[in-house]
Chains A and B, each alone.
Chain A
Amino acid sequence: MNLESMYQEIILDHYKNPHGRGLREPFDAESFQVNPTCGDEVTLRVALAGSTVGDVSYEGQGCSISQASTSVLTDLVTGRSVQDALSTMDAFVEMVQGRGQVEPDEDVLEDGVAFAGVAKYPARVKCALLGWMAFKDAVSRVEGVADR
């Protein structure tokens, strides 16, 4: 029962058939994130087209949650404005850190709602956020470049 709530078919699908995987050129910034407690890691690149997220590409290794979450991320942010992408990220973070108390909005999070069950497993929240942290970090680096 609990099993189903954590390992949704959507998550397993993204894990087995990840979207957007592989590091691509050109890119504006890259971020490497690691979870020191389990060794999960992801390297993620973003290429912006003006204020829009043009491409997100990544490589990583780790558990199904960290890798599937990064796959879902690429669907949710590619082609969106940076502002929209970051507010989607906020909604995702709020959901998985919500201890099961936050009702996710499927219109905003799409496949991402499958990760609602992760919120009940505090040890796995970092796994679900690994790729998103890399995305946020990479975007902030691009903006830093743009400001110069």
Chain B
Amino acid sequence: MTTTTAPLDVETIRKDFPILSRLVHGDKPLVYLDNAATSQKPRQVIDALVGYYEQHNANVHRGIHALAEEATALYEGARDRMARFINAPSRDEVIFTKNTSEAINLVARVLGEAGPDHRVGPGDEIVITEMEHHSNIVPWHQLAERTGATVRWFRITEEGRLDLSTLDSVITERTKIVSLTHVSNLLGTINPVDVVIRRAREVGALVLVDASQSAPHLPLDVAALGADFVAVTGHKMLGPTGIGVLWGRLPLLNELPPFLGGGEMIELVTMERSTYAAPPHKFEAGTPPIAQAVGLGAAVDYLTSVGMAAIAAHEHELTAYVIDRFAEVDGLTVIGPNTATDRVAEVSFSLEGIHPHDVGQILDEQGIAVRVGHHCARPAVVRFGIPATTRASFYLYNTRAEVDALVAGLDRVKKVFG
């Protein structure tokens, strides 16, 4: 992070998030540390949703009445905002989806039906990693089942990093697509995707980067990243649920077949056949999540006004503090890198002899919201020989005092089960 970044005014930011001032279980202030599951929403996003429905609601890209024009302008304006936010070379490369899962499913589906250059078929290989969320595993299993291709993967090291010692043997001339996460939702690890992309380029494979856990927390520049596809979900970055983005390189999007069929994605329909619209509409069948897109536009405006570099710096400092404080807790083992270097403020851990469900429940009774379980990344959890973890994940509005509350909460957990 740049040293010129001003520190965040977290107290002012917190006032923008109405939910952060509520109490839970009677009189306990909410300590929300489940941001990797979903983020809370600022007043600005909530207002954008309400304002859209109160003032502008209409279907988009059809009708010539005033509301239809306004709704279309707002929806397409959200696309422009998102394109700027991720530094997409063209706004036409920004496809609105339901979420990251749908974005990845879209790519996995169309690659099975693509032309000869990109089609995944028998004998081809799909490369993922052991630290993927199920949403970046299951669609590739399904593609392999449909096409006769094989899924291969990179392992995780004991420290919770991607094991790239097998880089050249896992990504080979047979590899058609490499799909990996930028940041692990279980471990918090920031992966060196540039190294993987370089190797994929050598063998002519496509690369999809799952940016679900990075786009909310780190500056994202898809042009600089150099992947072919980048998937993002809105609700983890202050936006509403039901809206995500698939970014893809325009020549590829032009070449690939459509995903779902329906209204909006067509050029011309006769009773004999259909022809398809150009990207992005080619991949957006049916009435899209309009209000949600507008809300996402407000979310990226908010993030931009705070500054992604400043957010990243704040969270990096929180990460270092969490790692330090966790080192004081007897019986606590961090699952993932036990350092603030190349990791985000999502920290999974186990507490000796106490099941994560019990940890989470006792924390909840104190108003502290964490996630427990396998975090939809079961292979990664199994890799560490445990059934589940407790995960505390932070965002721009979290404070050191909340880290202290978590550590005090863990003392209480140990007292109950000690």
Contact = CB atoms under 8 A, between A and B. Distances in A.
Interface string B334-373: 0000000000000000000001111001100100000011
B273 interface: no
Contacts of B416: 3, 7, 12
A61 B357 CA distance: 12
Interface in B366-398: 372-374, 381, 387-388
A75 interface: no
B365 A3 contact: yes
Given A38-B388, A39-B374, A40-B387, A62 B355 contact: yes
A7 B310 CA distance: 42
A81 interface: no
Interface string A1-14: 11100110000100
B357 A7 contact: no
Q: Chain A interface mostly helix, strand, loop or mixed?
A: mixed
Given A1-B26, A2-B25, A2-B365, A38 B387 contact: yes
A38 B357 contact: yes
A41 B386 CA distance: 13
B417 interface: yes
Contacts of A62: 355, 357, 387
Interface string B8-51: 00000000000000000110000000000000000000000000
B372 A38 contact: yes
> For chain A, which range describes its interface: under 10, 10 to 19, 20 to 34, or 35 or more residues?
20 to 34
Contacts of A40: 355, 357, 387
Given A1-B26, A64-B417, A124-B361, A37 B387 contact: no
B278 to A, nearest CB: 42
Contacts of A39: 373-374, 381, 387-388
A22 to B, nearest CB: 19
A108 interface: no
Interface in B390-418: 416-417
A93 interface: no
A3 B362 CA distance: 7
A121 B387 CA distance: 21
- Most chain-B Cβ atoms within 10 A of its Cβ — which of A6, A37, A63? A63
A65 interface: yes
Contacts of A2: 25-26, 365
9 contacts: A6-B365, A15-B417, A38-B356, A38-B372, A38-B373, A39-B374, A62-B387, A65-B357, A121-B361
Q: Which 4 A-B pairs have the closest CB atoms?
A: A39-B387, A63-B357, A63-B355, A3-B365
Given A2-B25, A61-B387, 12 more contacts: A1-B25, A2-B26, A3-B365, A6-B361, A38-B373, A39-B381, A40-B357, A63-B355, A64-B355, A64-B417, A65-B357, A124-B361
